[in-house]
Amino acid sequence: MTPDQIESAVAAAMPQAVEELKRLAAIPSVAFPGHPEEPVFAAAAMTEELLRSTGLPRVQQVAVEGSFPAVFGEAPAPPGMPTVLLYAHYDVQPAGDPAAWRTPPFEPTLIDGRLYGRGTADDKSGIISHITALRTFQGRFPVGIKVIIEGQEEYAGDRLEAFVERNPDLLRADAIVVADTGNPRVGDPAVTTSLRGMAAFTIEVRTLKEALHSGSFGGAAPDALAALMRMLTSLHDDNGDIRVPGLPRGSFLGQGPSEEEFRRTAGVLDGVSLVGSGSLADRLWSSYAITVTGLDVPTVSGAVNAVQPAARARVTVRVPPAGDPKTTVNAVVEFLRQVAPWGVQVSFGDFTVGSGYQADSGGKARAALNRAMERAFGRPPRDVGAGGSIPLVNTLLRQFPAAEILLFGAEDEEAAIHAPNERLDLEELRRVATTEALFLQELGLPSALGI
């Protein structure tokens, strides 16, 4: 196919792609404990249905120990051609407070060319970009194709890592496309060349056998919630820099966003300062970050006049690409033990860790992607970092050291992933699907292989 034919085919496929994204994003496939499992399996089934529609001769669900099934597809490589592995995930973050959404989180709503709803960007856009690119070739793929779409990346991505380690031949490829990142801005093409790792855990503080009347016992009885708050706030100094020993600030060689751009994208309120030291690129892409992502305490609406006997929090730590997440989480846990006041009982559990990633300079696959992205976006891509984590990437790098790993996608920085009002720009989806189809075609050309 010519580039013109590919661009036309993707453009013609967009109405179907948007309708399928709406269907997929309407499924509340939250794979966190405590959420219904049926929708997660429903998302796996729809993902399998979509992959079968692309003309891949082999499509099936594969069991992942301790997790939800992954969906795998494969087409053998033509003689002498490389194989490309395409990755995405069908699970999503919890919606959070429905009142914070302008539209219902699991009723995808199209407004001014943007599709709002949980998972429209992260990462069901990745699934649809793969599907749309593959359909372009009507079953006659220029390179070998493998597809793996997992079902628990947002909560337990380490389980797919173990699956890859046990089944290396299933996913072995020459180039790997990870469609779970995006551009700094819509229409601003970029390839993500570094990812922070992640560590997360739950901390519980206990002080009393049961709740006590705050009038009768307050002032002497140790409040578990007050103790936990003191411990959590001690993680940062007044400037917002981390106080945990052994977690130094890093540096990123490329250019990051300006403060004005970041404040606008993040929605920082007027008069509120940013936190931390160093350039924004340093803080966002190459340094540690600690965030309290959840608290188990009485709600304001359900509050009673009581001293709390127990309180829990979920803590997430972002780790620089070269950092060790296990060492990092141990350092944070030990620090919290040391600052615990009043002899309170502290326990930790539900640990999750994932390694970061730093790309090499790039080879034939990256050169093919550069050409494809320049055609689709009208200008060449630049290298950027990402503060988020994709646990699978470093495992793929270890298992397939000769493979080029390419991270790009339709999730621009204003897509509000993991937050209320997540949305996807549909023109960005078209450009990314076009990029992927052009890339597959480019990689199958003799000139791309040096033939």
CB 155 within 8 A of CB 418: no
Peptide bond into 360 cis (omega under 30): no
CA separation for the pair 14, 439 (Å, rounded)? 18
Which amino acid is residue 416, in one-letter code? A
Pair 21, 115: CB distance under 8 Å: yes
Total number of residues shown for the chain: 451
User: What phi, psi does 38 have (nearest 5°)?
Assistant: -55, -45
CA 256, 261, 265, 268 dihedral sign is positive
Q: Where are the alpha helices (DSSP H) in 94-198?
A: 124-135, 153-156, 158-166, 168-171
Integer CA distances (angstroms), 356 to 328, 391, 395, in order: 12, 7, 10
Task: Say how far apart CA 31 and CA 262 lie, in whole Å.
Answer: 30
The torsion region of residue 343 among left (phi > 0), alpha (psi -120 to 50) and beta comes to left
- Residue 229, classed as helix, strand or coil, is helix
Tokens of 21: 């994204």
Residue 282 gets the label, from left (phi > 0), alpha (psi -120 to 50) or beta, of alpha
Query: What is the distance, to the nearest Å, from the Cα of residue 31 to the centroid of all Cα atoms in its chain?
Result: 14
Rg (CA), the chain: 23
- What contacts 19, CB < 8 A, 6 or more positions away? none
Q: Specify the pLDDT at position 451.
A: 44
DSSP 317: E
Where do the H-state alpha helices sit in 237-351? 259-266, 280-281, 325-339
Distance between CA 91 and CA 149 in Å, rounded?
A: 9
- Measured between its terminal Cα atoms, the distance across the chain in Å is 19
Question: 371 is written with which tokens?
Answer: 């050409």
Report the C-alpha gap between 87 and 425 in whole angstroms.
Answer: 20
The whole-angstrom separation of Cα 431 and Cα 187 is 8
Joined tokens for residue 138 = 């009507």
The token pair that represents 237 in the structure block: 């100094």
Please list the alpha-helical segments (H only) found in 172-306: 214-217, 224-233, 259-266, 280-281
DSSP character at residue 123: T
Which domains are assigned to the chain? Answer: 3-195+356-444 (3.40.630.10), 197-247+288-354 (3.30.70.360)
Distance of CA 18 to the CA centre of its chain: 21
pLDDT of amino acid 378: 97
Euclidean distance between CA atoms 22 and 37, whole angstroms: 20
Active site residues: 91, 153
Residue 234, helix vs strand vs coil: coil
* Residues of the chain below pLDDT 50: 451
248 Cβ contact partners less than 8 Å away, ≥ 6 residues apart: 288
CA–chain centroid gap for 155, Å, is: 10
- Helix residue ranges per DSSP H, 303-425: 325-339, 364-377, 391-399
